[in-house]
Structure 1
């Protein structure tokens, strides 16, 4: 795998997972456009790539508006001469239960995650189609978007929407040689740092120590460095035939998420009347109800979080 001569944009790449993605793309040979809302953070990210012998520049702007998407593509083309790869990673959180979630909480999260993904991919796709050399679109999803999570109406909506858009873009961009995929990371982030269940894993990661095998193997939870190689692989020529997929990665695990498919199908002559539904509902629907939310195995005693 080599990304020599390729140019990538990674949104939200000043720190955390986004920075790990950008650094790995640069390590594989790509020039990278860093994006963050903080100038000092973006500059540090650029410096870290250049110190390792890579090439990078920065665009300091919030993801969401079309103007930012245009700035990002322009920076790639004007600085490095082309654009081959877009990774949409930027995001924010405003977690609270439905009945306490404000309009601003909902709008901010969906604007950055969902609209920001849309505006950046639209701008990149316009350029890639005109350039005629194909491209790679990699959008970051979440288990929350796949399964739901308590207190994350806004985030779940945005992340589920991103995967839906990816499947559509895989169809629309195929003729242009542009792939579109979603990556579903399970890793130590600012969000998981607040979840008591992950305390031992996040603490080990923060100290630069190996995470306990329970997290890496049983639930596929790891650090940013465990996710970044998949980003680079999907950005490479080796993944030219992979599109429209949602691929999970974390710790020692990689997964392919299924597309939604019916689990049962039943017919009733003349349509389903209220009486027919009353007679058959439990058999057809009730016996095939699907679970919601993620289910984690019980923590071993030695990995229990400290008492509050």
Structure 2
């Protein structure tokens, strides 16, 4: 897919998924502003891109503050003349169960994931409207934001908020022809390597160079960071015109469209519902089939290596 002439910003692209996004965009012909808080990591990504003939410049700064978002956009314009896509990938983890999570744990994750997405998207949207040629906002969410996850109050809340912002901004930026979508990636990263059911399989694949087994790639929809990057390239491309307001999952061999929250069951009572009436009808009425919560546990094969 040819992205020649397009200019992109990828936050948190010094390593992991962000680096895979930046390298895939550059390989398709886009110029990339590489952002990370780690100067060495950002430099390595830029070097990897330019070594293969791509165009990239670094911005070393933590996302969250408006000044950093404005710096990312102005760097794209100064270095490459315009901005076509903003990929908000930067994030941190501060996992704790609710009763042990500190204000600092909560604020750190919300500031980078949620505020960082907001400020970067706002600066990019202003630039897109000024250019008058459309654009793309690609906001990175997580299955934790769709279903919740144990020990991740801050992360789950931020990632759920990101999907909500994507749907809101898709409406607000429709007239400006800006596509806004949330990506829900699942890949072998530093975080997923710690999941007991995944860790030994991922380690073995990395040691031997063999692909991840089918029960992971298809059953769990988990693959490499490169598997996810193709969706980013598609969403930046002209081929994704008209795709907006969606939460799109990808990982391994699996591509998915997440549904938005909707009323599953309804019931009516003339004059409204009393607490007693709700209690009397709940288990046989709207609460007869409650929704699940949490990310389902991996279903490893009964036979190792299957």
What residue ranges of structure 2 are gaps of 5+ in the alignment?
Answer: none
What residue ranges of structure 1 are gaps of 5+ in the alignment?
Answer: none
> For the Cα contact (< 8 Å) 2:93–2:155, is it kept in 1?
yes
Q: How many residue pairs are counted as aligned between the two chains?
A: 304
Q: Distance in 2 between matches of 1:298 and 1:210?
A: 18
| 1:293 Cα deviation from its structure 2 partner | 0.9
Structure 1 residues 138-217: aligned runs within 5 Å: 138-207=138-207, 208-217=209-218
- Report the secondary structure of 2:242's partner residue: coil
* Pair 75,204 (structure 1): closer, same or farther in 2 beyond 3 Å: farther
- Quote the RMSD (CA, aligned, Å): 1.2
Structure 1 residues 22-171: aligned runs within 5 Å: 22-171=22-171
Q: Distance in 2 between matches of 1:77 and 1:276?
A: 61
> For the Cα contact (< 8 Å) 1:193–1:202, is it kept in 2?
yes
- Report the secondary structure of 2:175's partner residue: helix
Range 192-201 or range 122-131, more displaced: 192-201
- Report the secondary structure of 1:78's partner residue: helix
Q: Distance in 2 between matches of 1:303 and 1:15?
A: 30
Q: Distance in 1 between matches of 2:257 and 2:125?
A: 25
> For the Cα contact (< 8 Å) 2:87–2:139, is it kept in 1?
yes
Q: Hey, what does 2:295 align to over in structure 1?
A: 294
Q: Distance in 1 between matches of 2:299 and 2:82?
A: 49
Q: Distance in 1 between matches of 2:125 and 2:284?
A: 46
Q: Could you give the per-residue CA deviations for residues 34-88 of structure 1, whole angstroms, max 9, x where no partner exists? A: 0011111111110000011100001000011111101100100000000001100
Q: Could you give the per-residue CA deviations for residues 195-218 of structure 1, whole angstroms, max 9, x where no partner exists? A: 111113421453343111110011
